[in-house]
Structure 1
Amino acid sequence: MRTQLNLIVLAILGDNAGPGEPSETYPGMMWGDTTAMRLRRRNNVNDAWIDIGPLDDFLGDVKKLVSDTAAGKVSKVGDTMTGSLTMKAANISYQYASGANAGYIGTYGTGGAGSGIGIVNSAWNAWNFQVDDSGGAIFRSTVTIANNGGLYSGGRITIRNSAELALQGPYVFYIRPRGNSGLEYVNNAYNNVVGSIDDAGNMACNGEMRTGGALVAGTTMYTGNGQAFVSGDGNVYGAVWGGYLSNWMGNKANVNARVQWDSGVAEWGPINGPTTLDIPAPWVMCGWRTNSNGNWVSGAQWLRGVCLRNQ
């Protein structure tokens, strides 16, 4: 009896280990299958064996399953992903260290045109930034580009609702919409429009306009608030010329031109003795007549002159 009890106890302690299943089976009994090296348990209706796991480590399968499953998961702290993470109809919410909401990254639309991703504010009631499916981006407020960075776009950048560009260096220079169309350039103190350009291409400048190259005008270039100008053909118009420079120059003699007589010959005299006789302007002396028959003392002398013109 004692020997039989010892065998029963050893069988229980050894999970009935053996190459074949026990001859007598009971619900819930264990069997250490040394052929397959698997630990098995009899089901409750005593008609089949349930595989528990490896004979030497019956939790091995469970641990492997947990390990394999964990390998495909992301740890909440300090983990690294090497593949894509897909979230359907879900947002990524952020909080400050205090626990206050900092906003979230989410999607809008249902896919395709008019859909995209964006960043929502901490109150969760407005999109601070949106990027649609076609690559268009919308900023809710000010965009600051720091540390000599740049903003690049392969398409159009649209600034809505009369927003402005503030270009900041040692000073700030502003570019803003002009009325219903065009642009205005505003000084650093934001109290003077220093230049503008309208929708037709007309440009205004309150100060000097300098260029390191050619300044080209398609038609007329004005100065003096429109009182003088340079025409497209190169002619100059101004009060100093009395009109067009070409007309003013047309009334002048050409270089090296010969002067012409503008009158007949007139005489001044006679000179019968010591005296002084001047020919009045604009006459110039062209000759001298005498009746002295060689007697310069007893005869009379006449000065002869003509008026000249430049052409």
Structure 2
Amino acid sequence: MSWPRLTPPALTDLPIPQPAAGEIRLRIRACGLNFADLLMAKGTYQETPPTPFVMGMEVAGTVDALGEGVTGFSIGQRVAGFAGKGGLAEYGCFPVERCLPLPDAMPFDQAAGFMVAYGTSHVALVHRARLMAGETLLVLGAAGGVGLTAVEIGAKLGAKVVAVARGPEKLKVAEAAGATVLIDSESTDLKAAFKALGGVDVVYDAVGEPAASAALRALRPQGRYVVIGFAGGGVPQFPANILLVKNIDVIGLYWGGYSVFAPNVITRSLTDLIAMYAKGDLHPHVSHALPLERTAEAMELMRTRTSTGKVVVTMDD
């Protein structure tokens, strides 16, 4: 694994942190990894903290202590939290407004990878792209951490979901999540395959180039192209003439930003998602759950894009 800015993650003994006012301390049971963790390790993420810092954006565990003024949570309660960092640890303190009570039936490994992946896709498809039943949704990177949740949520919304992923094994995972059209990005002429679809209404892109250019041209008039990230490494450059002639919307979606300028959007979305999970409508997919001492290995799985769904780091009891 390449670490141009940082050394590989190392285990370090630190004092157990004390929650500040408005925070809860969690005994962390699991931490979900995200592509943003790789960017932080390289120092290229838009919100990389000063070094040294504890990586890990989202966690699940039990409430261990309450900071001053905290209400609505109790010691021992099962909780998921998102704070942007601090999750790869046995204990962590997180702002109460970024924490969510968990259903008793949700395992910690699923809960640790739930908020960012499902939250991103739900806000992207419902709030931003306005995906409707009967429309066609094209998902690039459909077996990845966020892409697989887009497949699942899109199918639940009644869309026809086209999954694009590398290799038959990843496509099987996307098919199980609800995709009805499967396109292998390793062995297929994507431009021809997308053209054969006869047009799509929404593109969900967590990959970027080289698939992005072909996907843009597959959009129908008034289509919506949602930019999620650039796991493939290439940042798309959208030709303005195509956007103009076809009346296409290009929509950016940075889920974490909503916690600053519109936290109610995240709150409402996560409430809907937890209700969907409780009804049995969502089935989080964790392909790898590795112990804390194997964090570097877990991150390598993400860097090489050999995992499907979520990679989770677990802590001993």
TM-score w.r.t. length of structure 1: 0.22
Q: Which has the larger radius of gyration?
A: 1
Which structure has greater helix proportion?
2
Question: Which one scores higher on RCO, CA 8 angstroms, separation ≥ 6?
Answer: 2
TM-score w.r.t. length of structure 2: 0.21
Which structure has greater strand proportion?
1
